[in-house]
């Protein structure tokens, strides 16, 4: 089997909920190290962007688990980071009409505004704001958890949005962080050309 890939993906205009991008978030169960994180809401109208992300998930999974990866994702044996807001957050108007995924980082991601100026004030980027997210997808398999994770390399604000409340109660799915010796600065493999496989996950 070929070496597992870390695949770079840049989103289109998405919305971020419950961002911890300037100060790391303490683990809810008190175990593990603090980490940076955000919930990425992708509008279902961004058909091409969703296909690119799905293809990257498939390519990443195949690099670790081979050609059976798509079937394993569909069967739930490999965790798919992309989830349906209309199903899993039914009744939540902020998630309606969106797919969503939870991104994390062990190191502080770069956060800039529309003019690429560094953001250092938490009030300048809040839950509900729009952004472009620079991600690195990676496969993980540890402690009984198997799936594709999303690492956040950087975030560029793309407009202010209506505040999303309730971050203190959000239940983030536990995933493994990318190994510390892996550089997530943006030099991984690019996402492949979308294929019909993306309709399967």
What does pLDDT average to over the chain?
A: 87
Q: Is the pLDDT of residue 183 over 50?
A: no
Considering only 39-48, 88-97, 130-139, 192-201, which range has the smallest mean pLDDT?
Answer: 192-201
- The pLDDT score that the predictor gives to residue 180 is 41
Between 144 and 66, the higher pLDDT residue: 66
Task: Report the C-alpha gap between 169 and 146 in whole angstroms.
Answer: 25
Q: Are 21 and 34 in contact (CB under 8 A)?
A: no
Task: Report the C-alpha gap between 97 and 92 in whole angstroms.
Answer: 10
Q: Is the pLDDT of residue 106 over 80?
A: yes
Q: pLDDT confidence of 142, banded at 50, 70, 90? A: confident
- The pLDDT score that the predictor gives to residue 197 is 80
The share of the chain scoring above pLDDT 70, in percent, equals 83
Q: Is the pLDDT of residue 17 over 90?
A: yes
Average pLDDT of the segment spanning 109-115: 97
Map out the domains of the chain with their CATH numbers: 7-162+175-182 (2.40.50.140)
């Amino acid at each position: 089997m070929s070496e597992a890939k870390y695949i770079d993906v840049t989103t289109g205009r998405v919305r971020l909920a419950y961002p911890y991008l300037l100060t790391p978030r303490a683990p809810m169960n008190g175990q593990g190290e603090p980490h940076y994180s955000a919930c990425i809401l992708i509008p279902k109208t961004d058909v091409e962007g969703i296909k690119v992300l799905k293809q990257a998930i498939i390519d990443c999974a195949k690099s670790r688990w081979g050609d059976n990866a798509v079937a394993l994702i569909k069967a739930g044996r490999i965790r798919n980071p992309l989830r349906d807001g209309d199903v899993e957050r039914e009744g939540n108007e902020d998630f309606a009409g969106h797919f969503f995924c939870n991104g994390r980082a062990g190191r502080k991601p770069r956060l800039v505004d529309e003019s690429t100026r560094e953001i250092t004030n938490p009030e300048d980027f809040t839950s509900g704001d729009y952004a472009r997210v620079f991600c690195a997808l990676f496969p993980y398999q540890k402690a009984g958890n198997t799936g594709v994770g999303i690492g956040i390399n950087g975030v560029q604000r793309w407009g202010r949005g209506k505040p999303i409340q309730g971050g203190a109660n959000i239940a983030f799915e536990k995933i493994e962080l990318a190994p510390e010796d892996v550089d997530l600065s943006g030099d991984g493999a690019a996402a492949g050309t979308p294929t019909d496989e993306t309709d399967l996950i």
